[in-house]
A and B are shown apart, each in its own frame.
Chain A
């Protein structure tokens, strides 16, 4: 197990994603990406990235924050683009194949990682991701989930939480934020019978590191879904991303768990789960829920749903470890 001090040093010394990118001060995804890539060990890594905040802030030509090979293709296809790269690698590794390029890679172990936001994963990229998981390519897919289309200014996605206001599910006189529950991406990934699926959060980088380190040694499709508070559009105080993320886990809104070969393991169980209001009240996107009776009803539903889902998770852990 890595200590937090060693991890801090590893992240500081990594050169995969250097500083100076144009992401917001206090953004959650740089530590997520650096932590995942710090776990690569002796492997080389090639990254693909869906259109989104990460892409536009790390690559504005002629500047480039990536110290490792990086490719952006379009919004919905970070997975198949990565598959194409990986299959080119598999082709070159064949005995029959001889080429100059083959000589360059012959002593290398290359791993393939896609980074995408929730829009590129839950919504527009879901079919492509599903195809990639079904085909069984050897890749890690990391979704940094900030619960809406943040690069275009906070439009609702299927990852937007129930009750949250966004620019396309605003709070109004008749409708009060998003009226549907979030899509369950973890279950969708698991339906592909892949070896490893996990949920992690930016607030617990040791946990994220451990998960990433584990998956670099697993062959086949892997998916890690990481909670990534958005300072610009959730509208909390600067420097509070980690506190918001921590509360998401302590309220069971965002449990930390992993599913390895079908077995669930909850990585953190709060001794006493905090009421969801503590998480909601820190963010402007939920502010409308606190102003009237209707809003308080929505909060009640959010709380009920969290408790139901948590119980299901406990049951799944129990059942799959029998």
Chain B
């Protein structure tokens, strides 16, 4: 009831969500592998399926600047990007947070930098993980669709912008069945946007983006920190509401065959799906393996993850990063280490880096990772680069 099944790529699943959100302004600039999102939305626009003002900007920097202006004017504004595009708009990505504007942006993860590469890793969003945007990783096309809807409500509740992240090509260009809500159900869930202020309300003029110096900036920053601390609670609360119409779950992270596991992989995004498939097979061989899938990545649920890990049988984990922090430990690994610092008994953790620039990760490689954990082959002093030719 109230749903229909469509065969959609991850990119088109986001575009469907955007059609239902029907934002006031969508500002776009093409970049692989995000482009099919804005192409699909442009089709919706061309066919009169949305009321949106669609602005074809001359760069990602301007696309985000337009979204910022539109949100400050009090309407929902969205954009989408990847990789170099996210890097190019970085300056105003930080502005969106500083001005507390609830923009929702779909980021299709792709390697950023040189040599140029169009395929998936998480370096683009990892390089701006500490700006204050909420970041939600999606495993499936269904999650891409639903998290985009959820993100709008979450952003507006806490006045922080949200990035909804999916894997370039692997998710964005591959077709899955996606259950799309009836438009009315989606619209009822989204509700009418009631901005706290608007530049267009000329009877109550506001000045947005003033210069703040030593005497005020610290406090303004702290306000954003305080809002960020509400995200986990609000995410779960809004997730429950969405759950009542989709029957899917919106936990801040996902546990898969975790409770009795002797070996656990911690990973986000499409790779979690591959890990699940390996788990299903290994479980048939009576190997107790499990997955903790990262969904809400920023703000990072340190305490909640520590509590979950503490309850487990297993004290052997592998943390799989699809990005490197050059000159430092990998980003997700670092976050999990910080979580584990809260535990009385420290687990043994293998840091794994994989899949840079779209390098394939196979079920066999994942099975090896599990077997190494089960056999206590863990080197805590070294990062293991899976799939790297040496």
Contact = CB atoms under 8 A, between A and B. Distances in A.
A69 B68 contact: no
A96 B53 CA distance: 13
Contacts of A34: none
A84 to B, nearest CB: 3
Given A71-B208, A84-B25, A88-B69, A46 B61 contact: no
B327 interface: no
A66 B206 CA distance: 8
A62 interface: yes
Given A62-B216, A77-B62, A80-B65, A89 B200 contact: yes
A61 B216 contact: yes
Interface string A88-101: 11111010110111
Interface stretch (B70-78, B111-119, B246-254): B70-78
Contact of B69 (A66, A71, A101, A134): A71
Interface string A231-258: 0000000000000000000000000000
Contacts of A46: 73, 199-200, 202
B328 interface: no
B70 A84 contact: yes
B194 interface: yes
Interface residues of A, number: 51
B65 A92 contact: no
Nearest to A84: B69
Nearest to B53: A87
Given A73-B68, A88-B74, A135-B56, A101 B201 contact: yes
A73 B192 contact: no
B91 interface: yes
A127 B199 contact: no
B52 A91 contact: yes
Interface string A72-110: 111011001111111111111010110111001100101
State which size class the interface on B falls in: 35 or more
Best-buried of B55, B73, B91, B193 by chain A (most CB within 10 Å):
B73
Contacts of A55: 210-211
B58 A77 contact: no
Interface string A32-71: 0000000000001010100000011001111010111111
Interface in B34-75: 51-53, 55-59, 61-63, 65-75
A309 to B, nearest CB: 29
Nearest to A91: B24
B92 A77 contact: yes
A87 B73 CA distance: 9
A88 B73 CA distance: 6
Contacts of A108: 202
A78 B27 CA distance: 16
A87 B25 contact: yes
Contacts of B55: 83-84, 87, 135
A188 B167 CA distance: 41
B299 interface: no
A320 B69 CA distance: 37
Contacts of A86: 69
B205 A68 contact: yes
A297 B160 CA distance: 58
A128 interface: yes
B65 A104 contact: no
A76 B25 CA distance: 21
Given A77-B62, A80-B57, A71 B199 contact: yes
Interface in A121-152: 127-128, 130-132, 134-135
A88 B24 contact: yes
B270 interface: no
B219 to A, nearest CB: 10
B95 interface: yes
Given A59-B211, A128-B59, A88 B75 contact: yes
Interface of A: 44, 46, 48, 55-56, 59-62, 64, 66-74, 76-77, 80-92, 94, 96-97, 99-101, 104-105, 108, 110, 127-128, 130-132, 134-135
20 contacts: A46-B202, A60-B210, A71-B199, A72-B210, A74-B91, A74-B92, A81-B69, A83-B55, A84-B73, A88-B24, A88-B69, A88-B74, A92-B200, A94-B51, A101-B75, A101-B195, A128-B59, A128-B61, A128-B65, A135-B56
